[in-house]
């Protein structure tokens, strides 16, 4: 819990120092959720565990859920509230709390956790909460950093993260994330323009090159500011999913995304 609190406070420095609104495009939001689509959300009670500044929730409300609830342990709940207040909807709620301890009485039709489990001290505790808070017959969906395809990040960026996540956030943002993301910005544009598909992070670079430099820096800062990150392999996710008696085993999926991350989920019995 103490480690997760430190992580959440670090993320709040990222989320609370951004322009208002979602950092993601609607197309990115749809891609993160697929195979879940609008028809799965209409009139449903939806829960996001680890909602940051509500960048996903502001898009999700356009899919007309009955109600959307977001939980985060950090002060990013302040920018989440502001971003949602600017939407045309009022069927949402933001709760400040530890997602691993959260136990809803009514349970939710859909529970998702995107970009969060790999930052928890005990990622499986986060998945337990995702599944515990899903109704019988409901669906859950998660996205995590993959071990596969992230060798360059694991051996270059992650050692830097372990050092700079102890520094003042603006040192990390302006003196470390800015120059590093500029180098990666040049690399990503170079390899994608020349179709160098054998180069590391090619698919991911194709995805992120649709965005401007500020988004590159946001992603780099997000990776560097957090004291806790693990990279998760497919076998671990498959074993996690198999370990739940209350998950329909023939409903589960594990999908490789952008060559360096996993989306996975299923239906609760
Ligand atoms: C990378 S952000 C992802 C935010 C959002 N899901 C998105 O995709 O934009 C991870 C978030 O998880 C939150 N978090 C980390 N540990 C948590 C915990 N134990 N309980 C609740 N939130 C937590 C952090 O505060 C942070 O906002």
For residue 14, what pLDDT is reported? Answer: 82
Tell me: do 30 and 113 sit in the same domain: yes
Tell me: do 10 and 95 sit in the same domain: yes
Q: Which atom of ligand 1 is nearest to the CA of 120?
A: 16
**3-class DSSP state for residue 198?**
coil
> Which residue among 11, 26, 118, 229 is best mutated to probe the pocket of ligand 1, counting the most ligand atoms within 8 A of its Cβ?
11
Tell me: do 75 and 182 sit in the same domain: no
User: What is d(CA 205, CA 209) in angstroms, rounded to the nearest whole number?
Assistant: 6
For residue 155, what pLDDT is reported? Answer: 96
For residue 1, what pLDDT is reported? Answer: 57
Tell me: do 52 and 130 sit in the same domain: yes
> 3 or 128: which carries more pLDDT confidence?
128
66 CA from centroid of ligand 1 (Å): 23
Kindly state the percentage of the chain with pLDDT values over 70: 100
For residue 19, what pLDDT is reported? Answer: 87
143 CA from centroid of ligand 1 (Å): 12
> Which residue among 14, 72, 102 is best mutated to probe the pocket of ligand 1, counting the most ligand atoms within 8 A of its Cβ?
72
Q: Facing residues of 112 across strands?
A: 48, 141
For residue 159, what pLDDT is reported? Answer: 97
Q: Which residues line ligand 1 (CB under 6 A)?
A: 4, 7-8, 11, 50-52, 55-56, 71-74, 76, 98-100, 114-116, 119-120, 222
Tell me: do 197 and 160 sit in the same domain: yes
56 touches 141 (CB < 8 A):
no
Tell me: do 74 and 96 sit in the same domain: yes
Q: For residue 193, what are the domain limits? A: 151-225
For residue 205, what pLDDT is reported? Answer: 98
For residue 17, what pLDDT is reported? Answer: 85
Q: Which atom of ligand 1 is nearest to the CA of 98?
A: 20
Domain tally, the chain = 2
For residue 2, what pLDDT is reported? Answer: 77
113 CA from centroid of ligand 1 (Å): 8
- Average pLDDT of span 81-107: 95
User: What is d(CA 32, CA 26) in angstroms, rounded to the nearest whole number?
Assistant: 10
CATH code at 31? 3.40.50.150
User: What is d(CA 119, CA 94) in angstroms, rounded to the nearest whole number?
Assistant: 20
User: Which DSSP symbol is given to 54?
Assistant: S
Q: What is the pLDDT of residues 46-92, one digit of tens each?
A: 999 999 999 999 999 999 999 999 999 999 999 999 999 999 899 99
Please tell me whether the peptide bond between 25 and the residue prior to it is cis, using omega within 30 degrees of 0: no
Cα-based distances in Å from 81 to 20, 29, 60, 88, 111: 11, 19, 15, 13, 19
* Minimal-distance CA residue to ligand 1 atom 12: 50
> Which residue among 1, 3, 8 is best mutated to probe the pocket of ligand 1, counting the most ligand atoms within 8 A of its Cβ?
8
Tell me: do 254 and 207 sit in the same domain: no
Tell me: do 169 and 213 sit in the same domain: yes
Tell me: do 76 and 105 sit in the same domain: yes
Longest dimension (CA), the chain: 54
36 touches 56 (CB < 8 A):
no
């Amino acid at each position: 819990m103490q480690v997760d609190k430190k992580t959440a406070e670090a993320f709040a420095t990222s989320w609370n120092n951004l322009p208002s609104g979602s950092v993601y495009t609607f197309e990115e939001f749809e891609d993160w959720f697929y195979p879940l689509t609008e028809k799965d959300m209409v009139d449903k009670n939806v829960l996001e565990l680890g909602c940051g500044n509500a960048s996903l929730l502001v898009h999700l409300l356009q899919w007309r859920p009955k109600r959307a609830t977001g939980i985060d342990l950090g002060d990013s709940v302040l920018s989440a509230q502001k971003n949602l207040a600017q939407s045309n909807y009022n069927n949402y709620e933001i709760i400040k709390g530890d997602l691993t301890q959260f136990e809803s009485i009514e349970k939710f039709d859909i529970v998702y956790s995107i970009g969060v489990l790999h930052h928890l001290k005990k990622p499986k505790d986060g998945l337990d909460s995702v599944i515990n808070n899903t109704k019988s017959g409901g669906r859950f969906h998660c996205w995590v950093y993959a071990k596969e395809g992230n060798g360059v990040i694991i051996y270059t960026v992650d050692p830097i993260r372990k050092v700079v996540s102890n520094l003042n956030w603006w040192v990390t943002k302006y003196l470390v994330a800015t120059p590093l993301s500029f180098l990666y910005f040049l690399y990503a544009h170079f390899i994608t323009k020349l179709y160098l598909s054998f180069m590391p992070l090619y698919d991911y670079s194709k995805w992120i090159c649709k965005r401007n430099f500020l988004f590159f820096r946001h992603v780099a800062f997000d990776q560097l500011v957090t004291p806790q990150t693990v990279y998760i392999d497919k076998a671990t996710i498959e074993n996690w999913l198999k370990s739940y008696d209350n998950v329909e085993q023939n409903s589960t999926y594990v999908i490789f995304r952008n060559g360096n991350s996993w989306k996975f989920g299923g239906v609760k019995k």
